[in-house]
Amino acid sequence: MNDEAPRADSPGLARRLGMFDATMLVMGGIIGSGIFVNPAEVARHVSTPFWIVGVWVIGGAVALAASFVYAELAARRPEVGGQYAYLRDAYGPLPAFLYGWALLLVIQSGGMAAVAITFARYFNDLTYLGLNDSVVALAVLALLTIINCFGVRSGSNVQSALMVLKIGAIGMLVVVGWWFARAAPAVAQLEAAQSATPLAAIGAALTPVMFAYGGWQTSSFCAGEMRNPERDLARGLLLGVAGVILLYCLVAFVCVQALGPAGLAASKTPASDVMRSALGEKGATLIALGIAISTLGFLSQGMLTAPRVYFAMAEDKMFFRQVAQVNPVTRVPVIAIALQGIAAAVIALSGTYGQILGYVVSVDFIFFGLTGAALFIFRRRHPDKKVVFKVPFHPITTAFFVAACAITLIATVWNNPLNSLIGYAILAAGIPAFLYWKRANGA
């Protein structure tokens, strides 16, 4: 393949997304329900207010380095499929195929199944309808599948609207928690502050933080449907990740201020506890509604972005050819979208989504690290190529991101060896599938 210029996009895809859409896609891919729960998980590992907020700053630094790397990759390779295309053009078709394979069977579908069930539980708590969680999850997945089949603008508008509401919910938590929640007793905070925070505890606390920050890469999947991906996707990545860092750090600060380190560590639902402390049960109901909207927004973003990877795989003759078909009216890959909806629904029905999520990090961070390293490859191949954005302080920034991925990967395998092995077994099962499609399609 010629690396001098990006591959041509499918003539069937319509370029209808701008910078605002890109920014909302970035933020929507990162913010799910984790930020409303994970501050408590962090507090169980580190006991001082400084480190409870500090680990979110550290995680944000990694996410910001990632946004720099992905912004330059987007400027260099503005192609449909995003990260899939970066891996393909840097390393060849096998690693790219395995990424798409893992995305469909583990990373994206498993995450969407778990979030759909989370939405169902909050929906039932708010409406008192008493519907089966699986029924609600299937209904919302089906609805979002249909919406996205009407066109990329239809799917993006819904996703952007939900993202604005999601930001509003987080803003409500921060403002109400800051102004109305009673601050935790100073004695409890002082006792917590006197305890040491060893390096191992900080490392353990970073695990849920990195989970919460993940997802910036999914916006790149829609590069082929952006009007100016070289500019808009790069800027959207930087603005979106910066916005998420600000929101996450504010939430962590408000939670530890309102509940104190010990109270935060003991809480199962910190966001609800903060709002209950400020406004009573009405506050808890309001944040439950916000969390339901946040989970719905995450699902909408996943349904919009991930199918573009399967579409790109099919265009490369590395998947079922029908998946590359574009509806002549809506100009979107409807079969790829339906495939994503069905895969998430099957996992949601199986009841194994919680276990599957345990495999995600050990697989996902391999591809994060490989994608970061791909920038070294592209720069070496074309050192003089002019792009609209370049990573500041490269190679230090890029190396920092790759090293952070390696550390996260090692820590995950060390702490969860069995789940990691299962994840790698699923990944390895993609190799014979790749060889089959390569032989069948003469690719």
pLDDT for the residue numbered 415: 73
pLDDT band at 192 (very low <50, low <70, confident <90, very high): very low
Tell me the mean pLDDT in the region 98-124. Answer: 88
pLDDT for the residue numbered 39: 92
pLDDT for the residue numbered 6: 40
List C-alpha distances in Å: 116 to 138, 170, 345, 354: 8, 20, 9, 12
* Stated pTM of the model: 0.83
427 contacts 102 by C-beta, under 8 angstroms:
yes
- Among 265-279, 338-352, 353-367, 416-430, the range scoring the smallest mean pLDDT is 353-367
pLDDT band at 279 (very low <50, low <70, confident <90, very high): very high
Helix (H) or strand (E) holding 201, with range, is: helix 199-213
Q: The tokens 């919910």 sit on which residue? A: 169
What is the DSSP secondary-structure string of 281-318? HHHHHHHHHHHHHHHHHHHHHHHHHTHHHHHHHHHTTS
pLDDT for the residue numbered 250: 96
Tell me the mean pLDDT in the region 413-433. Answer: 87
Q: pLDDT by residue (tens digit) across 138-185?
A: 999 999 999 988 877 777 788 888 889 999 999 999 999 999 887 776
82 contacts 236 by C-beta, under 8 angstroms:
no
- What domains sit in the chain, N to C, each tagged with a CATH number? 19-441 (1.20.1740.10)
Q: Quick check: helix, strand or coil at residue 82?
A: coil
**Residue 293 to residue 27: CA distance in whole angstroms:** 14
> For residue 305, which amino acid is it?
T
pLDDT for the residue numbered 4: 40
Burial of 417 (0-12, 13-18, 19+ CB in 10 A): exposed
**Residue 177 to residue 57: CA distance in whole angstroms:** 20
* CA atoms within a 13 Å half-sphere pointing along the CA-CB vector of 292: 17
Q: pLDDT by residue (tens digit) across 3-19?
A: 444 444 444 666 778 88
Burial of 323 (0-12, 13-18, 19+ CB in 10 A): buried
User: Is the confidence at residue 212, as pLDDT, over 70?
Assistant: yes
pLDDT for the residue numbered 353: 65
The token pair at 91 is 């390393």
pLDDT band at 357 (very low <50, low <70, confident <90, very high): low
| Between 353 and 24, residue with greater pLDDT | 24
**Per-chain mean pLDDT for the chain:** 86
